[in-house]
Amino acid sequence: MFASLELHYKKSFLLFPRIINCTMEKSRLEAFSDGVFAIVITLLILDIRFPEVDYSQFAATLTSVLPRILAYVMSFIIIGLYWVIHHNSMHVMKKTDRGFLWLNILFLLCVSFIPFPTSLVGRYPFEAGPIMIYGATLIACNAVGYVMVVYVHYHRHLAMAEFGDKYLRSHTPVYIIINGAYLGAILLARPFPLVSYIIYIAVVVMIIFFLPNVDDGINYQAKE
């Protein structure tokens, strides 16, 4: 039934298929993604709820809330990093198609999930389960991100000329190293929970500080 409809559409050329396909410009995809990133990063604060206690227990309760504050800081920076990477990745894109669009929605689905494991590690900071779920969520984000790179590799007409053959090849080891580190963090969560956190933070710090800075004074010019 749908097949015949489809045929009809292919002939008529002016409707639902067009509705689904024709006009998701790159800029709107970016704007929507930016919106989701901004909201996810800001919703994190909602998990830091102070229990309804008498003020005499204020200091003790604040101490018990401290892990949630630290989890807030960690996830804020990690989501901020995903935003930066997402944004810069979009720069090599020339066009977008339906497949890429849905991979992007899947990526946002994973990133939007981060507040949940953040809430868990904030509540049970030294238990293995939450740390493992946190790591698994990050691996899922990275995996979808990697599939997006692979997708563009095989749909080269979507990308700018800069996106050469080496792009995928040079990115693959980075994804393997990062996800390998996260996998290690998951495996170490039970015996050494603190080591897992150090790994999560170290990966972020590494990416922010140690990946080379090739600013050449051109790329960052303001577009007012």
Q: CA dihedral defined by 208, 214, 217, 219, rounded to 10 degrees?
A: -80
Pick out residues in 187-206 that bind a copy of itself (CB under 8 A): 206
**Of 135-143, 169-177, 183-191, 193-201, which segment contacts a copy of itself by CB under 8 A?**
169-177
Q: Does 5 bind a copy of itself (CB under 8 A)?
A: yes
Sign of CA dihedral 12, 15, 21, 23: positive
Pick out residues in 113-152 that bind a copy of itself (CB under 8 A): 113, 115-116, 119-120, 123-124, 127, 129-130
Q: Does 60 bind a copy of itself (CB under 8 A)?
A: no
- CA distances (Å), 180 to each of 13, 60, 106, 184, 197, in order? 47, 38, 22, 6, 15
Nearer to a copy of itself, 24 or 187 (CB): 24
Q: Does 57 bind a copy of itself (CB under 8 A)?
A: no
**Of 135-143, 158-166, 188-196, which segment contacts a copy of itself by CB under 8 A?**
158-166
**Of 136-144, 170-178, 190-198, which segment contacts a copy of itself by CB under 8 A?**
170-178
Which residues on neighbouring strands pair with residue 104, listed in sequence order?
Answer: none
Could you tell me if 9 and 87 are in contact, meaning their C-beta atoms sit under 8 angstroms apart? Answer: no
**H/E element, 24:** none
Shortest distance, position 121 Cβ to a copy of itself, whole Å = 11
Rounded-to-integer distance, Cα 201 and Cα 193, Å:
13
Q: Is 60 exposed, middle or buried, given 0-12, 13-18 or 19+ CB atoms closer than 10 A?
A: exposed
Rounded-to-integer distance, Cα 16 and Cα 120, Å:
43
Q: Does 15 bind a copy of itself (CB under 8 A)?
A: yes
Member of 121, 138, 152, 158 binding a copy of itself (CB under 8 A)? 158
Q: Does 41 bind a copy of itself (CB under 8 A)?
A: yes
Which residues on neighbouring strands pair with residue 159, listed in sequence order?
Answer: 93
Shortest distance, position 88 Cβ to a copy of itself, whole Å = 5
Pick out residues in 62-91 that bind a copy of itself (CB under 8 A): 62, 69, 72-73, 76-77, 80, 83-85, 87-89, 91
